[in-house]
Amino acid sequence: GEDVEQSLFLSVREGDSSVINCTYTDSSSTYLYWYKQEPGAGLQLLTYIFSNMDMKQDQRLTVLLNKKDKHLSLRIADTQTGDSAIYFCAVVRGSTLGRLYFGRGTQLTVWP
C-alpha cells in the first residue's frame, strides 16, 4: 500500500467542523505535517506535530496523533468557504530525514 493515505473528498457546511484523516505506514515517522494547496498555487504549511505529542492546537486547527494506529487527523473548527482547498498530510521518516512523503490530498469543499 501507499506510505500515506487520505480520503480524497470531504464536503461540509460553512460553520461546521471539518475533520480530515490520514494514515501512514512507517512507525519511525518523526514529524507529521499538514499543508494546504489552493487552486494553481504551491503548498502552504498549516501546522505540524512531533511524534512524541498526541495533540496540538493552533487557533481553529487541532491536530490529533494516534501513534499506535498510525493515524493523524486535522480538525478545522468553524469552517469557512475560504478553507476550500486540497489538504495534504506529509510525514518525515526516521530513516530518510529531510524527505517528505505525501498523501494524495483531501479536497475539502465548504458549502455556504
Partner 1 sequence: ETGVTQSPTHLIKTRGQQVTLRCSSQSGHNTVSWYQQALGQGPQFIFQYYREEENGRGNFPPRFSGLQFPNYSSELNVNALELDDSALYLCASSFAGGQQETQYFGPGTRLLVL
Residue numbers at the binding site for partner 1 (CB under 8 A):
4, 30-31, 33, 35, 41-45, 48, 50, 88, 90, 92, 96-105
Closest approach of Cβ 2 to partner 1, in Å?
A: 9
Torsion angles phi and psi, residue 106, rounded to 5: -115, 120
21 or 101, CB closer to partner 1? 101
C-alpha cell of 61?
486547527
Q: CA-CA distance, 32 to 40, in Å (whole number)?
A: 24
Residue 50, classed as helix, strand or coil, is strand
CA angle 22, 25, 28 (to 5 degrees): 110
35 or 110, CB closer to partner 1? 35
Of 74, 76, 78, whose CA–CA distance to 16 is shortest?
Answer: 78
Closest approach of Cβ 104 to partner 1, in Å?
A: 5
12 or 43, CB closer to partner 1? 43
Closest approach of Cβ 50 to partner 1, in Å?
A: 7
